[in-house]
Copies of this chain bind each other. A is one copy, B any other.
Amino acid sequence: MPTVDIRRGRGMRTGIATVCLSGTLEDKLTAAASAGFDGVEIFENDLIAAPWSPGQIRQRCLELGLSVDLYQPFRDFDSATQERFAANLRRAEHKLELMQQLDADTILVCSSVAPDAAQDDDLIAEQLRTLADRAAERGLRIAYEALAWGRYVHTYEHSWEIVRRADHPALGVCLDSFHILSLGDDPAGIRSIPGDKLFFLQLADAPRLDMDVLQWSRHHRLFPGQGAFDLAGFLGHVLDAGYRGPLSLEVFNDVFRQADPERAAVDAMRSLLTLQERVVANRDTAARRPASTIELPAAPELAGHAFTELAVTETSGPPVADALAKLGFTHTGQHRSKPVQLWQQGEARILLNGGGRSEQDAAGEPAAAVNALAVESTDPARSAQRAEALLSPVLPRNRGADEAILHAVAAPDGTSVFFCPTGEHGATWSADFTPTGNAADTGTGLTGTDHVALTQPFDHFDEAALFYRSVLGLEPETTAEFAAPFGLIRSRAVTNPGRDVRIALSVTVLRRGEEWAPGVPAPQHIAFGTDDAIAAARAMRARGAPLLEIPGNYYDDLDARLALDPDLLAAMRAHNVLYDRDEHGEFLHFYTEVLGSRVFFEVVQRIGGYSGYGAANAPVRMAAHRRQRVTGSARRPVHT
């Protein structure tokens, strides 16, 4: 079996189809080159709308260091009708001539979806052989691909059978992971195709969706690692078969189609780097060798949330500090050179940064926002090296002469992600804080940070999930969607295997407009763990914490649905504690009101192996937060 060196820059070439990116062809080529791709597939519609002639496009690609690896697609070539076939051949000749000007040596011909599609393997093989002859005369090649919704040919096995029958050196197969994996075909059969007949490989991931496969393909593809397909396993088969062409992405996605192409191209490259790492890891596991031969630094193990930093203003800072005190936190440290306070309870640590990024919401209300999240890494420097190798923006750190070095990168939503050493905080970042000498509060039973929940910018939800997966080595959990009072929400959490780092990402399924966008805009929250949610709520209420009031109807419904122990139900009702359960355990949790304009806190108690985030209760929380926002406004008072 051949072995392949897929290290970056020395091994396989990377490519991206222009259809993956938003903008005009001019925008797309620039973005692909900036992200470091070696080549592009030129999507025909992009070329048609471009002001440059094919020769000018070739010149532009040369300037950018891009090869044109594929011209695509050529549709509905074969035909049961000779007259139609002649017209198709004429059309193809025009495109072959264009390819010579473009300096693209391979054209993708996909299986026909036309009513007149040929339905005879030998006839299709004969027609493709005719085309391959024409291509060969020009030094070009034909890569034949089975569309999952092809009229007659829709599996890669069938496309290979036709290519085998045609038996022409300028005719090979194009494999597209979407078409194969969406149908549930076994990709292991690819190993039986000779490597030199695998002319091209298009990679795309996708979420599992129960819908028409054409619509699924045209609108919902994702970059590898963002969806549900086993791309590493797929690619392993293709490489083992001897494929030596580029790893090229072909992703039709409604969001990427309209998002910043420079960012999408970086996201795409990150997906390919991580995919290659996973293929190497699979091989090393199979070969019982370590994965150390790949250039990408392996993701160090993480060991919990070190701290979370909130940017506050002069106006929003004091109420947030007051709320933390009432939640049982102690102001234990003051930064030596910056206006930053350290608040602690158990292993939960919050920094209030009065000098960091601050935001104002549309109404000009003073805002508090999550500025940074810090995770403990067993090797912070390597974490940062990995992040940089995965094209994450490394953040400079303004620090005093003898302050701790903190490695940080920017997440797709702009949040700083710090990598701190595990344990022994006194020796590192917290040494930058002068103890306040405040007596430690007795606390309210909070043990640490359970998760940080961040609403993502609409265009960057899948990018964010891949960032945390690839850069931090977290694993995504199942994506959930639920109907909230102001529109659908999609959420996805990423966790480490020990589940002591959890980041919950969410996004509105449709971007909301300005006309009617009430509720809390882009909410963020920090959830603290406890072993007794009801006791914590009781203690916090006694201290006057701004806990969120939950409607009685919620508890009546809980009773109707679950027939919980009446004492537990009464305690939850008295303390505004919500409840969820799954097949592994139970979940008790409660919230504060919103502080500033978008941040709130949550307290969670996990019983047994409950692994969720109480998403079923989120709409109740959102309606309550909305009420908090309109209280005191011109709205009608609640009947009492």
Within 8 A of B (CB), among A453-477: 457-459
Alpha-carbon separation in the docked complex, A90 to B562 (Å): 10
Could you mark each residue 65-101 of chain A with 1 if its beta carbon is under 8 Å from any beta carbon of chain B, else 0? 0000000000000000000000100110011001000
Alpha-carbon separation in the docked complex, A518 to B458 (Å): 17
Q: A24-B485, A627-B24 are in contact. Are A254 and B50 (CB under 8 A)?
A: no
Q: Is the C-beta of A260 less than 8 angstroms from some C-beta in chain B?
A: yes
**Is the Cβ of B638 less than 8 Å from the Cβ of A52?**
yes
Chain B residues, Cβ within 8 Å of A215: 210-211
Listed stretches A302-310, A394-402, A550-558, A593-601; interface member: A550-558
Listed stretches A169-177, A506-514, A532-540; interface member: A506-514
Q: Is the C-beta of A255 less than 8 angstroms from some C-beta in chain B?
A: yes
**Complex A-B, nearest 5 residue pairs according to Cβ-Cβ distance, in ascending order:** A258-B487, A94-B560, A260-B516, A49-B623, A210-B212
Query: Copy number in this complex?
Result: 2
Could you mark each residue 609-640 of chain A with 1 if its beta carbon is under 8 Å from any beta carbon of chain B, else 0? 00000000001101110110000000110111
**Is the Cβ of A457 less than 8 Å from the Cβ of B513?**
yes
Distance (Å) between the CB of A380 and the closest chain B CB? 31
Q: Could you give 26 example pairs across A and B, Cβ below 8 Å?
A: A22-B516, A23-B485, A23-B486, A23-B516, A24-B627, A27-B518, A44-B557, A47-B553, A48-B553, A49-B619, A49-B620, A50-B553, A51-B624, A51-B627, A53-B553, A94-B559, A98-B556, A211-B212, A211-B215, A257-B487, A257-B488, A258-B517, A259-B513, A261-B516, A510-B510, A511-B513
Within 8 A of B (CB), among A487-509: 487-488, 508-509
**Is the Cβ of B53 less than 8 Å from the Cβ of A515?**
no
* A516 interface neighbour in B53, B459, B549, Cβ under 8 Å: B459
Interface size class of A (residues with CB under 8 A): 35 or more
Listed stretches A54-62, A338-346, A363-371, A384-392; interface member: A54-62
Chain B residues, Cβ within 8 Å of A518: 23, 27
Q: Is the C-beta of A34 less than 8 angstroms from some C-beta in chain B?
A: no
Q: Is the C-beta of A563 less than 8 angstroms from some C-beta in chain B?
A: yes
Q: Among A457, A516, A624, find the residue whose CB has the most chain B CB atoms closer than 10 A.
A: A516
* A510 interface neighbour in B52, B212, B255, B639, Cβ under 8 Å: B255
Alpha-carbon separation in the docked complex, A553 to B45 (Å): 10
Q: Is the C-beta of A483 less than 8 angstroms from some C-beta in chain B?
A: yes
Chain B residues, Cβ within 8 Å of A512: 258, 511
**Is the Cβ of B638 less than 8 Å from the Cβ of A91?**
no
Q: A87-B563, A639-B60 are in contact. Are A254 and B487 (CB under 8 A)?
A: yes
* A515 interface neighbour in B211, B459, B516, Cβ under 8 Å: B459
Chain B residues, Cβ within 8 Å of A623: 24-25, 49-50
**Is the Cβ of A508 less than 8 Å from the Cβ of B258?**
yes
Chain B residues, Cβ within 8 Å of A513: 259, 457-459, 511
Q: Which residue of B lies closest to A640 (CB)?
A: B56
Q: Which residue of B lies closest to A87 (CB)?
A: B563
Q: Is the C-beta of A561 less than 8 angstroms from some C-beta in chain B?
A: yes
Q: Which residue of B lies closest to A49 (CB)?
A: B623
Q: Which residue of B lies closest to A510 (CB)?
A: B254
Q: Which residue of B lies closest to A638 (CB)?
A: B51
**Is the Cβ of B552 less than 8 Å from the Cβ of A53?**
yes
**Is the Cβ of B210 less than 8 Å from the Cβ of A557?**
no
Distance (Å) between the CB of A483 and the closest chain B CB? 7
Within 8 A of B (CB), among A136-188: none
Chain B residues, Cβ within 8 Å of A638: 51-52, 56
Q: A22-B486, A212-B211, A639-B59 are in contact. Are A620 and B48 (CB under 8 A)?
A: yes
Chain B residues, Cβ within 8 Å of A516: 22-23, 258-261, 459
Q: Which residue of B lies closest to A94 (CB)?
A: B560
Chain B residues, Cβ within 8 Å of A486: 22-23, 257-258
Chain B residues, Cβ within 8 Å of A211: 210-212, 215
Chain B residues, Cβ within 8 Å of A556: 94, 98
**Is the Cβ of B24 less than 8 Å from the Cβ of A515?**
no
Chain B residues, Cβ within 8 Å of A639: 52, 56, 59-60
Distance (Å) between the CB of A108 and the closest chain B CB? 16
Chain B residues, Cβ within 8 Å of A619: 45, 49
Alpha-carbon separation in the docked complex, A26 to B622 (Å): 14
**Is the Cβ of B560 less than 8 Å from the Cβ of A91?**
yes
Chain B residues, Cβ within 8 Å of A626: 23-24
**Is the Cβ of B49 less than 8 Å from the Cβ of A260?**
no
**Is the Cβ of A22 less than 8 Å from the Cβ of B487?**
yes
Alpha-carbon separation in the docked complex, A50 to B549 (Å): 11
Alpha-carbon separation in the docked complex, A212 to B215 (Å): 12
Alpha-carbon separation in the docked complex, A486 to B255 (Å): 10
